[in-house]
Structure 1
Amino acid sequence: MKMVLSLVNLCAREVVSDHSSSPYWLSCVPRELYQALLDAAFTHCRPLAVGELVQRWPERTLTTGGSRRVGKSQCPPNRLCVQALLLAVVRGLSDKRCCLQVLDLSGLQCEDVRVEDSMGGWSLTVALCSMVLQARAAASRAHRRDGERERKRGLEAERERGAIKRDRGTAGCGNTSEGNNEAVQKMECSTNQPTLPEESVKGVRRRMEILRRKAQCEVKPNTSGNNSRLCEQDWEDVVVVHIRVDLFVNCRSWERVRDALSQPGPIRLHCRYLRVEELSASSIATLLGLLPQQDLLGVDIRYSSLGVSGLAMLLPLLAPFPQLHSLRLHYCNLDLQRTQPGQQGALQDLCKGLSSLKKLKRLCLTALRLPGHLRLLLSSLSQPLEVLKLPYLCLTSTDLAYLSCSQHASSLRELDLSENWLDDSSLPSLRRLLGQAENSLSQLSLCGCGLSDALLGALLPSLSCCRALRSLRLALNPLSRTGLVSLARTAAGIPSLRLLLYPNPLEEYEAGLPALPSSAQLLDWPLLEEPESHQLTLRMLDEVLSSRGRSRDLLVTSDLLNYSPDLTVVD
């Protein structure tokens, strides 16, 4: 079976490579091979073939997003191929051979700047919204042409009927009084109809024509009085393609996204994950009001100065989305370290808004500075969380004590406590938390938490019991080589572990570091230029992994930027 599939893929690559031959094979290729041809066109960057295949797509659905890797390759589609796909969707609206009704582009965007010629989330969002507006304009022009043709046919039919009546009247001059009364009644019925205030209508026939057009809602004057537009109900009937997509909106693309979502047309966007940056609370609220409620799975708000009151206003607007399970807030200017008037009331509203999110499974709060308020926030949730990320939150030992005894502890799959300072007072709570989550926890991040050799040594027995752990990140902690070897030995003893992100040991830094440096100092302090120090660390770690038989299946690295993100679970 694998050999047959490989042969099909090889043949598909050869077919799409020669664009001059496309008129021949497009006319006879069976529908079962369209998917293989499209995969080959994406993989080998053949945008012309992508456009021709999508324009006459024979199936109701087409999936090209992250949920289905194109060509089973980890490389995202080329920008030109994505643009060709979007243009082909618009052309396919008027192509009778195209059967496409649902297009899934969710996860298609690539945010890795190292991948050349790929399309990021912002660019994809702008291109999609431009496509939606373009399709709407084309449909409006087509309907105006149809309406004009229908109007001309109606006028011609009225003229023909009028000529027939005049001929009959001339032939039979002796009309009965009954016929005259009937004609008068018809005339009175027509003249009693309401007239359009913006048009001066004197002829009965012209008035009847305009009333008929208005009743059928084919066209009606817009605010300028020069063009025509479809009625709202007509747009509901002409929706042809539904597109599932992840949207990335900021202040530069906000107006275009709003227009694409608010103006009906033959293409409708269904947002799966919404990411917004640098938008006000009112703009975000407007955007949420335009999204179809059945489709939204997650909301990611970044670098928006919301404050506690702004966030308390937004959270109730998320309650109507029944499938929403992920909420991420990054640098949204929530600072409860400084007491402000009305802050407690807004905090209560915030907790009430969180309690309305019945399906919430993932909660990520970055740099919100909420010391001592974790119990108030998390206790309002109606069900346990599976993903909890709390970096830069200034958590206290009281917060960790609550978390270790909360309903969330035993269900956590991902936990991020990075950049929250840990000391002897918080260590017992952290060990109890790891004990509660030992059967479920697959990702743990404790980067920049101030873990020294002594603190880490006390924590290692609890870490060794986490039998489901796949990713462990401990970068930017002040460990020596001795502490690092102990960490590697414990990590090698966890069968499920696949990634260990360790800190550079203190021996690799230049002289002058304080006894217990912070994560910022470790990040900025220069490392020794001599490679011998780092080579010694690598040899010691390799010996530990080799002795446990983990040299091949456990990635051990100190590289903060390139530590195999494929091993982590994406929200």
Structure 2
Amino acid sequence: MDSLLFLCARRVVAHRPLPALPADLYPVLFQAAFLDGRPLILRDLVASWPFPVLHFQRLVGRRELLRDHPCKLCVQAIILAVVAQLRRELEEPGCHSSLRVLDMTGLPDSASGRAPDGMSVWSGTVALAKACVEVLKHQQEFLRRGSKRHKGRSGAATASAAPKPPGVDVHTDLNVIGASYGILRDALQTGATGPLRLKCREFQAEELSASRIVTLLESLDPSCLRRVDLRFNNLGLSGLSVILPHLSRFPELRSLKLQYSNMDVRRLTPESAIGVRCLAGQLGMLPKLQELNLGSSRLSGNLRQILW
């Protein structure tokens, strides 16, 4: 049964524009607006968010709630509100929002971008990546125009850059396939220089080559990653031997899934035996690993050597 406070919040978010509100009402209004599917209200709330952190799942509730409520337009509204805020902070000196961390971990997403019936599925990973690239391009263009104006006034060849706003860190789970690889690579490689920065907690890649997976892993923040899921990538022992050394740079990695990696060593050769020992050694370099999934990897009779 809904509380009286939540019922009142639903009445408030049913009308736009919102009245002036005390800060302690923002969380329940956010929850009501999301669960009632009111993206414009969510944009208004995020635009004036009075706290440094907006933790999506804590505000909305259990993961089951997120699955039960179509959230494409609502999540997109939140991303657009943060983009608009960052552009405003850049263009209007002195205009600073309180929001510095947006935590969107735990949101349902589509790695493949396709539904079972063939209809297109919106991808939160792609939306965030595009937002990162868009905001960075806007910042670069704004600074370029400012530099030209300064040079025109002073005649100097160089100009002091305007102070950059602090930006927003987005904690999120990233799902990537070949079609979304390019935009995610560009977003991650902005690193700490962009106003909108991706901090990945769970990384899932499907149908990517080992070299592309390594490129993305090298661009992730080492302090944030907790889970890696590499499925249907047909990597084999040789591909995994390329990828696994790069996982040692993530000190908090707890879960590694390598399902359908096509490590067919049922007929062990001297080369594949060396590969199995190498795989075991590389897994041993992940001291905080608590979960290892090697499902459908065709390791019959050799699992003991890997786990030894």
Percent sequence identity over matched residues? 39
**Other-structure match for 1:259:** 186
Hey, what's the Cα distance between the residues in 2 that align with 1:147 and 1:296? 37
In structure 2, C-alpha distance between the alignment counterparts of 1:73 and 1:276, rounded to whole Å: 21
Partner of 1:484: none
Separation in 2, partners of 1:259, 1:342 = 37
**What amino acid sits opposite 2:75 in the alignment?**
V
Deviation readout 1:296-331 (Å, 9 max, x if unpaired): 001000111211121122111101100001000111
Equivalent of residue 11 in structure 2, options 11, 14, 30: 14
Residue 338 of structure 1, CA deviation: 2.9
Q: Structure 1 CA distance, aligned partners of 2:140 and 2:98?
A: 21
Residue 259 of structure 1 aligns to a residue whose secondary structure is helix
The 5-angstrom pairing of residues 174-323 of structure 1 reads 209-210=156-157, 212-213=158-159, 216=160, 218=161, 238-263=165-190, 264-323=193-252
1:35 Cα deviation (Å)? 1.1
Q: How far, CA to CA, are the matches of 2:293 and 2:124 in structure 1?
A: 25
Structure number with the bigger relative contact order (C-alpha 8 A, sep ≥ 6) is: 2
Q: 1:73 Cα shift?
A: 8.0
- 1:34-49 equivalences under 5 Å are 34-49=26-41
Q: In the alignment, residue 276 of structure 2 is paired with which amino acid?
A: L
1:140 Cα deviation after fit = 1.7
Query: Aligned with 2:125: secondary structure?
Result: helix
- Residue number in structure 2 paired with 1:103: 102
**How far apart, in 2, do the equivalents of 1:109 and 1:376 lie?**
36
- Kept in 1: contact 2:30–2:59 (CA 8 A): no
Q: Which has the larger radius of gyration?
A: 1
How far off is 1:275 after superposition? Answer: 0.3
**Unmatched segments (≥5 aa) in structure 1:** 156-208, 220-233, 380-571
Match of 1:30 in 2: 22
Select the residue among 48, 64, 74 that pairs with 1:74: 64
Moved over 6 A (4+): none
Partner of 1:350: 279
Corresponding position of 2:45: 53
Structure 1 CA distance, aligned partners of 2:59 and 2:229?
24
The corresponding residue for 2:136 is: 136
Q: What runs of 5+ residues in structure 2 fail to find an aligned partner? A: 90-94
Q: Which of the residues 58, 63, 72 maps onto 2:55?
A: 63
For each residue in 1:197-255, what CA deviation from the matched residue of structure 2 results, as whole angstroms up to 9, or x when unmatched?
Answer: xxxxxxxxxxxx11x43xx4x49xxxxxxxxxxxxxx8xx6551000000001111001
State whether residues 109 and 123 of structure 2, in contact with CA within 8 Å, keep that contact through their aligned partners in structure 1: no
Q: TM-score, normalised by structure 2?
A: 0.87
Structure 1 residue 339, shift from structure 2 partner: 3.5
**What secondary structure sits across from 1:366 in the alignment?**
coil
Matches within 5 A, 1:111-510: 123-155=123-155, 209-210=156-157, 212-213=158-159, 216=160, 218=161, 238-263=165-190, 264-340=193-269, 342-379=271-308
Please state whether the residue corresponding to 2:80 is helix, strand or coil: helix
- How many residues are treated as equivalent by the alignment? 291
Deviations 1:261-298 (CA, angstroms, capped at 9, x unpaired): 11241010000000000011111111111001000001
